Chain A
Amino acid sequence: MKEIIQRGQQLWNRVFFAPASALNLAAARVLFSVHALWVLLSRDLPATSSLPAEFWNNVSQGELLRFLIFPGHPQLEYGLQWLAVVTLIGAAAGIMPRLCCILSALLLYHLAPLETIFWTASPYQRGFTIDVLALFTLSLSPCGDALRVGRTGPMEPSPIYCWPLRLTQVYLVHTYFFSGYSKLYRVGLSWLDPENLRSWFLLFSQQDQVMRLGPLFNTVGPWIADHWLLCLIAGGYGVLVNLCFVLVLFNSRARWFFVPDAFFFHVLVFLGLSIFWLNTPQLLVFVNWQWLVDRRAATLSLVPGRADVRA
């Protein structure tokens, strides 16, 4: 029993408190703030505030209070949106990064639900879900020790850079793991039935209101639908890798397989179902930037003429 507890502690420390580089944590800060900025500037969230009263009839007071939303004040919402733009730029550039991260997270917690609250209080596929959690978590950490205006990052790895980065990765792992789990929980093993997959591919190719036009779209989906084996693989393999994606938290080698695989999966879903997975760029949080920088530096030091400079 004692040994099991000891091993559990070792695993816990290895996952959350291993020495890590400041660069990787700072890169996560840049990644999530730029991602949030990208989505924010591609929507018109404040305008929802001006929807007529009928749209708000079935929104509970609890939901409105939870996100501090008071319908009928679009100008105030625009003001908050531009404040969020400023704080996100600050977070990305490393100007008062921790303050900017927490302000961004709070502002996005308020702004993001505006997109859907008139019919659902959970805007989980709209792009901000992971950003809110990640920016808040990063604000608790020394995420500004690297990639910051006017400061050089510390060279020594430290456990204080590990757990915040790992939690942001956990948030992204949730999307895959629970995406696989929810299919089995809500439907059961019959979700994997090739006929079910065929129906989904057919449905997305038949809804003319929900499809992208172009030569790349609406051919992959029906083609897969017409091949029983491909439907079987799409269902079984898809759920399996979704569930196993959690391994990227424990094993760096697993990242070499599951992260590119996830990217490939999103490309297929984009072509086959017209679904654009807004979290795709966030897969970059699994890249070991410090390793890349070190490798680059090592390569440069081997180039004749460069070694002199470094020496």
Chain B
Amino acid sequence: MTVDPGLPVLGFAVLGLAAGLARRGNVDHRPAVNIFIVYTLALGLGAGLSQTEIWPFSAWPLVAGKVPVPVTHPRFLAVDAEGREHEIDYRAWGPIEFDELIGWEEKNFSRLDRGSQDRVASYLLGIIEGARQRWAAGDPVRHFDRYLGPFSAPLFLGHPARWIAGVQVPEVPFVGLRLYKESWSVEERRRDPARVERKLVYEYRAP
């Protein structure tokens, strides 16, 4: 039997409210507070020690693995009418965050049938082509720094800014999308940066 992670979190909320509501003036209801603290500690330790996600109680598995040999990563490239490939700036995927898109792709994209894959690709192509036009015109839609500008919270992982609005943006419209899987050994690539195997796994062309 599996317990929905929402239930332990609900318990956390209920016990917390009980402890908070039991307080009288400046005096805590110590038993209620103790129960809440013990439960909270147990839940946090339970999630962490068993490495089970009960968000917002997390297992925090950061870089907790070994680098596989070879390592494989996906790469989306945009294609113009002449078949030339173009790198896509990570901001052009907005409002989707690049890392979340890659996470979704690796987990789900290959499970979709061809028709669904094409609908997704058409949607993504629409996003990046729309972004390309705005960026080329010098008027990009800023999904992640529109309110706080340079003081916006950075994304967890860094990404290169490949486009410069109105200056360095692919000039020709995107009409297709290609998905590659790139594989390499980190040691071999350290010796020779060109040692990367690239395999086309999916291609979409707008009708």
Contact = CB atoms under 8 A, between A and B. Distances in A.
Interface of A: 16-17, 38-39, 41-44, 47-48, 51-52, 54-55, 57-58, 62, 65-66, 109, 112-113, 115-116, 118-130, 132-133, 136-137, 139-142, 158-160, 163, 167, 170-171, 174-175, 177-179, 181-183, 185-187, 190-191, 196, 199-200, 202-203, 206-213, 217, 222, 225, 273-278
A209 to B, nearest CB: 7
Contacts, number: 221
- 10 tightest A-B contacts by CB? A140-B20, A47-B95, A212-B158, A274-B158, A66-B6, A124-B58, A199-B67, A42-B153, A178-B48, A42-B152
Contact of B48 (A119, A181, A212): A181
B61 A186 contact: yes
B13 interface: yes
A42 B103 contact: no
Contacts of B158: 210-212, 217, 274-276
A123 B6 CA distance: 14
A42 to B, nearest CB: 4
A27 B102 CA distance: 38
Contacts of B184: 206
Nearest to B141: A44
Contacts of A177: 48
Contact of A202 (B13, B104, B187): B187
A170 B36 CA distance: 13
B23 interface: yes
A14 B86 CA distance: 61
Given A116-B103, A119-B107, A41 B147 contact: yes
B interface bracket (residues with beta carbon within 8 Å of A): 35 or more
Contact of B64 (A16, A127, A186): A186
B41 A183 contact: no
**Most B CB within 10 A of own CB, among A118, A159, A178, A191:** A178
B37 A16 contact: yes
B153 A127 contact: yes
B173 interface: no
A174 B6 contact: no
A141 B32 CA distance: 13
Contacts of B55: 113, 121-124, 129
A31 to B, nearest CB: 14
10 contacts: A39-B153, A55-B108, A66-B6, A109-B56, A120-B107, A125-B62, A133-B57, A158-B26, A183-B64, A209-B90
**Most A CB within 10 A of own CB, among B20, B71, B144, B148:** B20
Interface string B91-131: 00011111110011001100110001001100100000000
B201 interface: no
A191 B66 contact: yes
Nearest to B69: A199
A298 B33 CA distance: 35
